[in-house]
Structure formats: structure tokens, C-alpha cells
Structure 1
Amino acid sequence: MKKVLSLILILLLALTACGTQEKEETASPEEKKTEEGTNAAKENTNTRELTAEDEKFSKLIVEKNYDAVITETVSLKSESQKDFYYIASAIIKNNENQTKTYNPADLTAMKTDYQVIVNYINRVKFVPDEIKVEVEGLKKSAEEKVAEADKQLTK
């Protein structure tokens, strides 16, 4: 009797697991639309409201005090800290790249250095309006340098 009861329980669990799995795989069109809307909202970089922390960090960036931003945001505890850490890191990396001399025969190093900037900025989810132009300009400039290096490397 115990063996039969155990067998029934195992079969019941197996059938339940299969039924749950099938239900998850077939999402309704309404659920898909909601998920797409959520993803679209995440992609919009200026959906978050400006907080006191955002204002503090953007002020430091306007004042070109990037090291202070890095030291205060290195813990990456909040979304704001992550965003400003990446922004400050991208600006610092760009400043390093400006003073660096690259070997014209080896453009891979230049491409890699500027790709780092693009990657940092792509991680940013929110950019306050007061530094948005600077960040977008930095991203555009870095992308152009990467494309230029790509073009030279493929010749």
C-alpha cells in the first residue's frame, strides 16, 4: 500500500511539473506586450526622477571633480551610484586617452581604449539634463574613434 501511495505521489509531482512548465512556455499576447513595455521603459535613460544624490554627483561632474565621484560611488549600492560611477569612469578614461600616444601601426589599443568608454556609457540608465550633452558628446566621440580604428584596421 505504501509503495502504491509513493508511486501516485511521484506521478502527481511529475504531472504537476510538466503542466507548470507548459503553462510558462505559452505566454499570452497580453503578457508579452506588458513585458515589452517594461523593457522599453528600462531602455529609456531619463525615466528616473532626480534625487539629492543625483544632484550632488552631477554637480561634482560639472565641477570636473571626477575622483570624488568615483570614491563616493565605488560601492555601487544604488542605481544612482552606478550611473555616476560609469559616467565618471568614462570621462576619466577619455582624459587618459587624450594624453596617450598610440602607435599608428597598432590601432587595436586605441580601439580598445575607446570601446571601454562606449561600454561605460552604455551601462548608464539615467543621465541628468545638466550633464546629458557632455555625456552624449563623449559617447559620440568615442564611437567615432572606434569606427575610425575599425576602418583603419580593416584596410
Structure 2
Amino acid sequence: MKKVLPFILVLLLALTACGTQEIEETASPEENKTEQGANADKEPKKELTAEDEKFTKLMTEKNYDAIIKDSVSLKTEEQKNFYYLASAFIKNNEVQTKTFAETDYNAAKTDYTVIVNYLKRVKYVPDEIKAEVDELRKVSEEKAAFYTEELEKQPTE
């Protein structure tokens, strides 16, 4: 049973990363950017719930496993939000400890793309970790782009 639980957790993370995103009917990207820019200052701050505060505290303590455990049901928006945040940081920690072969650009690209995809699903980032999340997003996007470029340079067989 002890060996099955980590396997199920890894499988769940992989399935979530590869899951389809919901299709939303919205305005065109140009209209969205204009509306978001105009309304950015007018939008009220998100009212924090007890769940937000609990998960924010766990995030600042870097207790990502507890967040995953408490939010894996994905029942509320807060649970989904913090599940994706914690998953991104867990995946980043895995990538940092992983050693890639010099030419294994595909594995590296995939790992960084998973982090970027998790962060794209996040709708709310607490102020306490905003800088850290922004840095993770920036670095992951840059590395995913770098490895994509390296893959494109490789000769096709």
C-alpha cells in the first residue's frame, strides 16, 4: 500500500497536467487585453476565505504535500487554485533534482511545459508568494522555450 500511494499521486499529477482545459466562450484576445487593461484598476481585491488563508500559510511554509492532500478533491476554486500552485512547485523541485542527459531536450522541455501549464491554470496568487510564483513562471517559460529551440535545431531522422 505504501508503494501504491506515491504511484497514484504521480499518476494523478500526470493526468492533471495532460488534462484538457475547459473551453470558455469569451471575447477575442485583443478585446480581452483591452478590457483587462481598462478594468484592472477597478476590480476589487479577492475576498480571502479561511481556505485561502490556510493554503497561503502552507504555501509560505513550502508544505506542498499538505496542500495536495487537502485539495486533491478539487471541489472549490480555492482548492483548484492552490492544487495547481503546489503542483507547479513540486514539479519544479523534481526538475531541480533531476539530471538530464546533455541531449535529452524533450524530457526537459516537457517538464518545464508542465510547470507552465500548471501556472496558467492559477487564477489567484497570494501576495505573500506572488514574486516567487512570477519568478517560477518566468524561468519555466524561458527554459521551455530554450529546449523547444534546441529540439528544433536537432536533425530529424
TM-score normalised to structure 1 length: 0.70
Moved more, 88-97 or 52-61: 52-61
Shift of 1:49: 1.7
Report the equivalent of 1:14. Answer: none
Q: Deviations over 1:32-75 (max 9, x none)?
A: 8xxx77xx67xx7x853221111110110110111000000000
2:66 is aligned with 1:71? no
Q: Secondary structure at the match of 1:137?
A: helix
Segments of 4+ moved more than 6 angstroms? none
1:114–1:143 contact (8 Å) kept in structure 2: yes
Which structure: greater helix fraction?
Answer: 1
Shift of 1:150: 1.3
Shift of 1:129: 0.8
* Unaligned stretches of 5+ residues in structure 2: 1-26
Q: Secondary structure at the match of 1:154?
A: helix
Shift of 1:106: 2.1
Query: Computing the radius of gyration over CA atoms, which structure comes out larger, 1 or 2?
Result: 1
TM-score normalised to structure 2 length: 0.69
Q: Determine the C-alpha separation between the residues in 2 that align with 1:52 and 1:137.
A: 26
Report the equivalent of 2:56. Answer: 58
Q: Determine the C-alpha separation between the residues in 2 that align with 1:82 and 1:47.
A: 19
Q: Deviations over 1:91-130 (max 9, x none)?
A: 0000000000111212000000010000000001111111
* Unaligned stretches of 5+ residues in structure 1: 1-31
Q: Determine the C-alpha separation between the residues in 1 that align with 2:73 and 2:151.
A: 38
Report the equivalent of 1:112. Answer: 110
1:50–1:128 contact (8 Å) kept in structure 2: no
Q: Determine the C-alpha separation between the residues in 2 that align with 1:136 and 1:130.
A: 12
| Counterparts of residues 1-155 of structure 1 (less than 5 Å) | 48-155=46-153
